[in-house]
Structure 1
Amino acid sequence: MNAKSLLAVAALAAAFTGVARADEADASQFAVQFQGQRTRAEVMAEAATVSATRSTEPAGSRVAAPLKSTVDAKAVRAQAAEALRLGKIPSGEASI
């Protein structure tokens, strides 16, 4: 029984040591060198013009202007009431 548990511990230790050495320790893949072609002043001038011309209003936040209609609101309500009375507009579970 003791030999089985010792063997299991040794197998687990061997498995975890392989996982621990899976990557480089110096993290050299994160050290990226970048050489730009523009000066700092050019970038700052471009950033200033972008912020001056961009709208701070979120997209789609404007309310649409009301549509112009020649139909009277009382006539529309009367037609809707008549359609409901005649059963042309389903309601309740029948509306599915």
Structure 2
Amino acid sequence: MSSRILLAIAAVATIAAGAARADEADASQYAVQFQGTRTKAEVQAEAATVSATRSTEPAGSRVAAQVKSGIDAKEVRARAAQALRQGLIPRGEAG
């Protein structure tokens, strides 16, 4: 008896689901009507000038030029070690 009830409930649910989808699928009743004021030639001319002046390079993609220095790496390491000994460079979480 429970299988008959379950089958009846499934049949009613299937019919209800089909009735819920009876509306139009494209939602054309919500379409917005748009009327432009410019001609097609004006829009195409503007599009041509924008594409000619716009850069295709992503922002921030250039690498900065290498900085030239008169100090060699050994001198930089020596100065960093001295600053660390004097407590000028913070270490760990205390800094």
TM-score, structure 1 as length reference: 0.60
Match of 1:60 in 2: 60
Match of 2:71 in 1: 72
Structure-to-structure mapping, 1:44-55, within 5 angstroms: 44-55=44-55
Per-residue CA deviation, residues 1-38 of structure 1 (Å, 9 max, x unaligned), is 154234223332243234323x3356324644321111
Identity in percent: 61
Q: Which runs of 4+ in 1 moved over 6 A?
A: 81-84
For structure 2, the residue ranges without an aligned partner over 5 or more in a row are: none
Q: Is 1:19 matched up with 2:20?
A: yes
RMSD: 3.3
Q: SS at 1:16's partner residue? A: helix
Count, aligned residues: 89
Q: Is 1:39 matched up with 2:25?
A: no
